[in-house]
Amino acid sequence: MEADRMLIDHTADSDRCIVFENASIRVGINVDCGAHIYELVDMRSGSDILYRDPAGSRDYRVGAWYELFPNAGPACQFQGRQFSRHGDLQHQRWRLLRASLCGHTAELSFAGRSREIPVLVTRHMQIGPAGRIRVRESLSNESSLDLRYLWGHHITFGENMMEGSARVELPDIDFTAELDAAPDAPYPPSARGRANRFPSKDGATVDLTRFDQLPYSAMLFADLSDDAHYTVSSPTLGLTVRAEWDPHAFGSLWMWTTTHGTTVDSDLVACALEPQSSAVPALADACAAGTAPKLAPHARRTAWLNLEVAHDTRS
C-alpha cells in the first residue's frame, strides 16, 4: 500500500469485499455476492457515480453494477429449467483469484459459477490512474451440451449523475419500448425511435436522454452495430463517464430510467444503461426469437468492456 493508492480487503454486509482507491476513483466490489461493483466514487467531488442501493451490496433491490447471466430479464422456464430474474450469477459467491498493485494500477481477477447452467465466468479488471477501468471476461462451458444464455452488465447510475442538465449521449440507433409500458412511461407501448426524440403519448416527441422533465419511467431496448458506447455527462459535477464494449458479445443496449415522483417508485432515481447480448429480455423469449447466443460444448467465449470517468477541464 502506498499513500496515493490503496487496496483493501475487508468485510461489508457480512461479505468479503475488495476496495481499490487512488487519487481519481474508489471502486468497491462484493466478492461474495456476484462480484457486485457496489460503489464507484469520484474522489474529487466525493460523489458516487453509481446508484447507491439503501439495502446494501448484497440484499439490493436495484444494485449498482453487476453481471446478468444466464438470464437477463424476467424469470422464465426454458428446456425444463427455471431461470431466475436477471440470472443467478449476480448472487453467487465468487472467488478472488488475484488482487495486486502494479504501479498505479490495481489488477483484480474473479471467478464465479452459475448453478442454472454449467458455465464458469471469469473477470479480470484493471483499475488505473485517471479513472480508467478495463474489464476482460470469459464464459467457459463445462458441459458436453450446447447452452443458450443471455449475458449483460447492469450498470446503474444514481441521482448524482442525473441532476440538472445531466444527459446521456448514445449511438445513432433506434430503441423500442416494452410492450407493457409502465403507467408513468411518456410513450405508447412498443413505440420506436431515437432516445432523444422518442414518440410520446401526445403524438409529439420526448427526450429520454435528459432527466429534468416531468416524472417518468422508461424501459427501452436497441440492437447495435459496431458502434457500442455511451456517455453520461453531469455539468453539475463536471464529470463525464464513457463506456465502450465488445459489440460481438454485447450487441444490444437496454436503457431503464426512473426519475423523482413516479407513481410506482416516487423516491427512486436511477438510470441503468446495460450492454446486453440480446434486445429480447427473457431467455425463453430470446431463444424463441433466435437472438440468444449459444455456447458450444466445452467452448469458451471472451468479451471486453471499458469505462472511464473524466473531469471537465474547464471546471
CB neighbours of residue 264 within 10 Å: 10
- Which three-class secondary structure state does DSSP give residue 169? strand
CB neighbours of residue 11 within 10 Å: 9
Q: Which secondary-structure segment (H or E) carries 63?
A: none
Per-residue pLDDT of the chain (315 residues; tens, 9 = 90+): 444 678 999 998 899 999 999 999 999 999 999 999 999 999 999 999 999 999 999 999 999 999 999 999 999 999 999 999 999 999 999 999 999 998 889 999 999 999 999 999 999 999 998 899 999 999 999 999 999 999 999 999 999 999 889 999 999 999 999 988 888 999 999 999 999 999 999 999 999 999 987 889 999 999 998 899 999 999 999 999 999 999 999 999 999 999 987 887 778 999 999 999 999 999 999 999 999 999 999 999 999 999 999 988 654
Half-sphere exposure of 292 (CA within 13 A, CB side): 23
C-alpha cell at 315: 471546471
Alpha-carbon gap, residue 272 to 257, rounded angstroms: 6
Name residues whose C-beta falls within 8 Å of residue 304's C-beta, 6 or more positions apart in sequence: 134, 135, 136, 137, 245, 246, 249
Alpha-carbon gap, residue 302 to 192, rounded angstroms: 31
Reported pTM:
0.96
Angle value at C-alpha 121, between 251 and 63, nearest 5 degrees: 70
Alpha-carbon gap, residue 25 to 47, rounded angstroms: 10
